[in-house]
């Protein structure tokens, strides 16, 4: 199962930056880089992504999907589905669920996050760099104390240790199958597949102080929230607080 298009480095600032440079140099769709250590790992919304060296999967993959720009968020959601299948396999009988837009949860704790960054040239999507951080072998002591109730890892769930490269290859395999489906039928299947694993469907949510109910995912990946008066609002990005 060895993938020639997966590069492994000991240490880098962020695999996102490495993969972004590789994409700009013309590396093909599917080329990926993983690092045992990131000195400046990035999370969503400008946050830091901190992970103990050698324990977890930090991987970025270049994708060049032929889709409309408005559908680009679906690719991050697709990646969260692929991560969930890998986590399911490793953590059986526990099942992974998803938090909009693309966090992966197990036992109601975050086990993985996705950072999807697109480059748009001349009004078309040139490439996406998909960053995946999976908590693989972290122990509870590796997490900041204030977050130890909201984070988990494959190792904490199962009591086992996992090989990072094999985990990366399983993820790339699962992602490749979903991307192949996008290539043949377009990305319209993504919201319904994603919703099947949605942890918060029908739950109360708060957005900018406004309360509503999470009712669905729109065709471009936006979250649909129903207000108490029945009006449906679309949420395209930003933090959602579960109540
Ligand atoms: C999140 O905030 O949940 C997204 C975290 C994404 C982290 C991954 S680790 C590999 C890649 N390189 C980075 O600097 N970030 C992403």
Would you list the DSSP string of 46-83? Answer: G-B----TTTSEEEEEEE-----GGGTHHHHHHHHHHH
Protein residues whose CB sits closer than 6 Å to any atom of ligand 1: 14-16, 38, 41-44, 47, 49, 58-60, 103, 113-115, 131-133
Q: Ligand 1, atom 16: nearest CA belongs to which residue?
A: 131
Q: What is the pLDDT of residue 1?
A: 55
Please tell me the distance between residue 16's alpha carbon and the centre of ligand 1 in angstroms: 8
Q: How far apart are CA 140 and CA 75, in angstroms?
A: 30
What distance in angstroms lies between residue 134's CA and the mean position of ligand 1's atoms?
9
C-alpha closest to that of 223 among 207, 210, 208, 209: 207
Radius of gyration of the chain (CA): 17
> Domains (ranges, CATH) in the chain?
6-195 (3.30.930.10), 204-242 (2.30.30.100)
How far is the C-alpha of 95 from the C-alpha of 92, rounded, in Å? 7
> Rounded CA gap, 195 and 210, in Å?
22
pLDDT for 45-90, tens place per residue? 889 999 999 999 999 999 999 999 999 999 999 999 999 999 999 9
Q: In the chain, which ranges are continuous DSSP H helix? A: 15-24, 73-91, 154-158, 164-185, 190-195
Strand 103-106, strand 96-99: pairing: antiparallel
Average pLDDT of the chain, as a whole number: 94
What digits encode the pLDDT tens for the residues 115-173?
999 999 888 999 999 999 999 999 999 998 998 899 999 999 999 999 999 999 999 99
Phi and psi based region of residue 14 (left: phi greater than 0; alpha: psi -120 to 50; beta: remaining)? beta
Interacting residues of 53 by C-beta distance below 8 A, sequence separation 6+: 11, 36, 37
Percent share of the chain, pLDDT over 70:
96
Ligand 1, atom 7: nearest CA belongs to which residue? Answer: 133
Mutation pick for ligand 1 pocket among 42, 59, 77 (CB with most ligand atoms within 8 Å): 42
Pocket test for ligand 1, best of 49, 53, 83 (most atoms within 8 A of CB): 49
Measured in angstroms, how far is the CA atom of residue 34 from the centroid of ligand 1? 11
Ligand 1 center to residue 107 CA distance, Å? 21
User: Which of 17, 23, 35, 43 has most ligand 1 atoms within 8 Å of its beta carbon, as the pocket-test mutant?
Assistant: 43
Contact 36, 11 (CB under 8 A): yes
Q: What is the DSSP letter of 27?
A: P
CA 231 – ligand 1 centroid, Å: 34
């Amino acid at each position: 199962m060895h993938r020639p298009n997966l590069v492994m480095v000991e240490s880098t600032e962020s695999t996102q930056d490495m993969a972004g440079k590789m994409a700009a140099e013309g590396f093909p769709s599917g080329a990926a880089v993983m690092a045992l250590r990131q000195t400046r790992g990035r999370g969503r919304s400008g946050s830091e992504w901190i992970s103990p060296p050698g324990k977890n999967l930090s991987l970025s993959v270049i994708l060049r999907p032929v889709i409309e720009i408005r559908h680009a968020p679906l690719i991050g959601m697709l990646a969260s589905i692929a991560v969930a299948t890998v986590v399911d396999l490793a953590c059986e009988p526990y099942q992974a669920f998803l938090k909009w837009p693309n966090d992966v949860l197990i036992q109601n704790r975050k086990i993985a996050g996705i950072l999807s960054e697109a480059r748009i040239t001349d009004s078309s999507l040139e490439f996406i760099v998909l960053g995946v951080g999976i908590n693989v072998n972290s122990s509870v002591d590796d997490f900041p104390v204030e977050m130890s109730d909201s984070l988990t890892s494959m190792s904490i769930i199962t009591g086992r240790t996992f090989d990072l490269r094999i985990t990366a290859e399983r993820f790339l395999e699962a992602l490749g199958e979903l991307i192949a489906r996008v290539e043949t039928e377009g990305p319209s299947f993504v919201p319904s597949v994603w919703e099947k694993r949605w942890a918060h469907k029908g739950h109360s949510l708060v957005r900018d102080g406004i309360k509503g109910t999470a009712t669905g995912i729109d065709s471009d990946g936006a979250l649909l929230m129903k207000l108490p008066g029945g009006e449906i609002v679309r949420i395209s990005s930003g933090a959602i607080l579960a109540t």
